[in-house]
Structure 1
């Protein structure tokens, strides 16, 4: 108990930093919101699961020094940045095409298993191609670990943040696939999709033109 209490403040700081990063609106959160409203709960949860998995992967890479290695070699982050920027522009194109389309599929329809996999992989892609996740996880691990921290603290950070990620991303999926949010989407589909297109496009261009 003494050892746990000794490192508990570090864990709280790491969890708090992760919550701030996760709750902040970004491409992954907006993708979960938009997919949940447009395609229903199952699609939204599938995409949220993909985002959660990619967040867990980033945590493992950060905890064992891989993200620091990536940050030390600029060309690897440039590759991630270019891939992420192009992917966001593709999402912007998809949203714009949906905004310009007059008809729309039923928002609450249940997707097939193949579509579940597609949304899941989309969630993985939108977060794994975000270079900001590299620096966010370096900061989280740095805040939560001391040089004398035992190995269990590392796994406590990874496991705790994984649970928080599932809860936060799952909450977004469930909240935005509720009946009121789906009705809101149906009544303002073009405006919502157009706004998402602008957001994804601006984020993609900013990522492609920014300096790391």
Structure 2
């Protein structure tokens, strides 16, 4: 109970919520899971979702430990990373809003013939080469006080994110293994993009204002 009581739950829950919103707005990894679900069925899609946890944990371990070391050696890096994260949030937000204002939703390409093993490996490959994963972690490190966090807290942060990502991809796998889901997604995607885009832009402006001492 002492370990749990000592955790900065407000910061952890905020990061997990941000990550969930980021997964809700599809990027390469989400499109990978959806495409496998549409073209190859539920089993391979669930295998693709299972690849999310190890991928997120590898990214998270490298990012959090590297950031903690960097901030200890160069304290000014924390401010620089905060401003970089704010800029990335503004960029993310503007992209989602532009996508919402486009004439129509992007098509999801079905991926037929994927086996569970191939689907699992495809997820790991996408996560390893996905620029969105890198930029997402840069934003997270600008939001979370990695320099002041204990090793246990950083581990909890990463495990929580891996759990959130996996559960959401399982949801995509189950939902999009039925063809009717594609039509529902097409109708809802623009509204989701617009709402999350505005949220990300607001969060980016808040980070900048906080560093400037406005908020």
Asked whether the two chains share a fold, i.e. TM above 0.5, the reply is yes
Cα distance in 1 for partners of 2:181, 2:59 equals 34
TM-score by length of 1: 0.58
**CA deviation vs aligned residue, 1:158-206 (integer Å, no higher than 9, x gap):** 11111111111111101111xxx23677xx9xxx9xxxxxxxxxxxxxx
Q: Which structure 2 residue ranges, 5 or more long, are not aligned?
A: 71-107, 187-215
8 Å CA contact 1:14, 1:141 repeated in 2: no
Match of 1:169 in 2: 169
Deviation, 1:5, is 6.0
Match of 1:76 in 2: none
Match of 2:198 in 1: none
Runs of 4+ in structure 1 deviating by more than 4 angstroms, as ranges, are none
Cα distance in 2 for partners of 1:3, 1:174 equals 32
Deviation, 1:145, is 2.4
Cα distance in 2 for partners of 1:3, 1:120 equals 32
Match of 2:201 in 1: none
Deviation, 1:39, is 0.6
* 1:135 maps to 2:135: yes
Deviation, 1:43, is 0.8
Cα distance in 2 for partners of 1:52, 1:170 equals 11
1:76-91 to 2 correspondence within 5 Å?
A: none
Aligned length: 146
Match of 2:104 in 1: none
Structure 1 residues 154 and 6: alpha-carbon distance in aligned structure 2, compared to 1, 3 A threshold:
closer
Higher mean C-alpha deviation, range 22-31 or range 136-145: 136-145
Higher mean C-alpha deviation, range 116-125 or range 1-10: 1-10
**CA deviation vs aligned residue, 1:112-147 (integer Å, no higher than 9, x gap):** xxx221111111111210122112112213322253
Deviation, 1:60, is 1.3
* 1:50 maps to 2:47: no
8 Å CA contact 1:52, 1:169 repeated in 2: no
Q: Which structure 1 residue ranges, 5 or more long, are not aligned?
A: 70-94, 106-110, 193-212
* 1:182 maps to 2:182: no
